[in-house]
Amino acid sequence: MKHLGLLFVLIASIVPTAFVSGSEITARDSAVLVPAGEYRVGARAVKVAQPATLAVAPAPVLTVADEPLKLSADKPVGWAKGTRLRALSARDVNACGSLVPASLELRRAKGGARLKVGDDYLADTAWGHVGIGTNSCVTIKDTVFASYRYSLLRMDTIQVSADGKASLKSGEPHISAPVPPAADAGCLAIAHVFVNYSDTAPNTAQIYPILETAAQAVTRTTPGRIPKTLAKLKAGGPVKIVCWGDSVTAGGNASKPEFRYPDVFAAGLRERFPQAKIEMQNTSAGGSHSRQWLFPDKFPYRGKPWQETGVTWQRIADAKPDLVTLEFVNDAGMTPAVVDEIYSDILKRVQGLGAELILITPHFTMWRMMGFKGMREAERRPYVLALREFADEHHIALADAAARWEHLWKEGLPYLTLLHNTINHPDDRGHRLFAEELWKCFR
């Protein structure tokens, strides 16, 4: 964390180091083919002297034997219903797609006869959940034993040495958020290979050339639209910041509280403005959307009165903030008309407190949830486009995290590998992207 301030200062001026030019890297059988030629990455260039055929190991497959569990009374459908197979855990949910479907076997006793799927138990094999069957010989109180196989994800790095030799460096497998290994000393990374669940061989679509760096991402983030807050920080005065939002603001799948984006954001500000007395308050609730906070009687959070849940605008008002940051991926279903209505209300309330506002565009989620067909598509969610227009129309600050997530594939990263729960919760790297865009608002 001690280098956050330095990164904050250099974030706009860092030399691009991830533009690649050269022949296309392709896949064949169980290998990737790297043609000879020049590959340029930012200020560095490297030549592959001889074509290289690099073997890619299949996705790791692990075995679980006789895991004890009780069958849920709920029909296992999707990520929330049923008893979870524990080895598939991606923290708050199971990793979608990890289970090898045909491998699942349930028995009443170890080594006993197999229970029958449908009659004795039901299964959602995409999510690795099970539940009681329609004509079961066991009850929800009985312990049964599950045996199954599951696979992991991996990111490998294609690197080129100074003498022109291409090689593949395998990454550490992970249930949901694999990290590609850094290139060896003296080598240049030119691409990553995404090894998906149960893959036995790569395909060209899973090769991610490193086309650009993070510094080359074009976002709609707006410096200079929080003048009062910036003036207080520069003067060394007290500044109260409320980070308002849903489960992502609450921490999502950050590995530690200090790696949640509000905490990373606040730590970076404190390093840049060491004389200022910065207080950050995280006001958030998992699964909430903005209307539940604004109109808690009309839109009760989880069906409970706001007096029990604390999901109410009054918490933001009572904090007396100088600055409010707002992140609601759960608003992503809003139409432009609803964005204009609800966010006009939010702006009026924030300004009524004498505070400034930074709107944060949401990260990318499971691509099917966004209506996408893959991980290289351009942002087109109506909510995000409307939020950008709203910020410009009202000349209020915007931290365009969505654009950073959209850019990830050009950095050689399939964005899904930054979603720790495979759905919508970012890992530490994903949280940092929010902080980096927020920092840009303070230039």
C-alpha closest to that of 431 among 413, 404, 409, 391: 404
Torsion on CA atoms 137, 141, 145, 150, rounded to nearest 10:
110
Which DSSP string do the residues of 292-334 spell out, in sequence order?
HHH-TTTS-GGGS-HHHH--STHHHHHH--SEEEEE-GGGTT-
Contact 204, 29 (CB under 8 A): no
Q: Tell me the pLDDT tens digit for each residue of 147-163.
A: 999 999 999 999 999 99
Mean pLDDT over residues 155-184, rounded? Answer: 97
C-alpha closest to that of 200 among 57, 414, 95, 28: 57
Contact 211, 19 (CB under 8 A): yes
Distance of alpha carbon 407 from alpha carbon 361, whole angstroms: 14
Residue with tokens 């329609």, as numbered in its chain? 134
Between helix 261-272 and helix 428-440 the angle, nearest 10°, is 40
Burial status of residue 113 (CB atoms within 10 A of its CB: 0-12, 13-18, 19 or more): exposed
Helices assigned H by DSSP within 24-156: none
| pLDDT of 368 higher than 90 | no
> For the chain, what is the mean pLDDT?
93
State residue 213's pLDDT score: 84
| pLDDT of 10 higher than 60 | no
Q: Which tokens is 313 given?
A: 């605008």
The alpha carbon of residue 346 and the mean position of all alpha carbons in its chain are separated, in whole angstroms, by 26
Helices assigned H by DSSP within 134-282: 227-234, 247-250, 261-272
State residue 23's pLDDT score: 64
The alpha carbon of residue 308 and the mean position of all alpha carbons in its chain are separated, in whole angstroms, by 30
Q: Which tokens is 169 given?
A: 């460096």
Q: Which tokens is 249 given?
A: 């603001």
| pLDDT of 201 higher than 50 | yes
Distance of alpha carbon 404 from alpha carbon 419, whole angstroms: 14
Residue 25: partners with Cβ closer than 8 Å, 6 or more residues away:
32, 33, 34, 35, 158, 190, 191, 204, 207, 209
pLDDT over 70, % of the chain: 94
Query: Please, which residues bridge with residue 284 across strands?
Result: 245
Contact 320, 240 (CB under 8 A): yes
Distance of alpha carbon 83 from alpha carbon 142, whole angstroms: 13
SS3 345: helix
Distance of alpha carbon 280 from alpha carbon 265, whole angstroms: 9
CA distances from 276 to 20, 231, 236, 279 (A): 42, 10, 4, 9
pTM, 2 dp: 0.93
The alpha carbon of residue 60 and the mean position of all alpha carbons in its chain are separated, in whole angstroms, by 23
Q: Which tokens is 385 given?
A: 């486009």
Burial status of residue 49 (CB atoms within 10 A of its CB: 0-12, 13-18, 19 or more): middle
Angle in degrees, CA 320, 322, 328, rounded to 5: 90
Model confidence at 44, pLDDT cuts 50, 70, 90, reads confident
For residue 158, give the amino acid letter.
I
Model confidence at 41, pLDDT cuts 50, 70, 90, reads confident
| pLDDT of 16 higher than 80 | no
| pLDDT of 8 higher than 60 | no
CA distances from 279 to 267, 276, 282, 324 (A): 10, 9, 10, 12
The alpha carbon of residue 99 and the mean position of all alpha carbons in its chain are separated, in whole angstroms, by 21
SS3 186: coil
Residue with tokens 């699964």, as numbered in its chain? 287
Query: Please, which residues bridge with residue 66 across strands?
Result: none
Domains of the chain: 19-58+160-168+180-206 (no CATH), 61-151 (no CATH), 215-440 (3.40.50.1110)
Distance of alpha carbon 255 from alpha carbon 253, whole angstroms: 6
Distance of alpha carbon 265 from alpha carbon 277, whole angstroms: 15
Strands 52-55 and 154-161: unpaired
Q: Tell me the pLDDT tens digit for each residue of 259-315.
A: 999 999 999 999 999 999 999 999 999 999 999 999 999 999 999 999 999 999 999
Alpha carbons within 13 A on the beta-carbon side of 390: 27
Model confidence at 42, pLDDT cuts 50, 70, 90, reads low
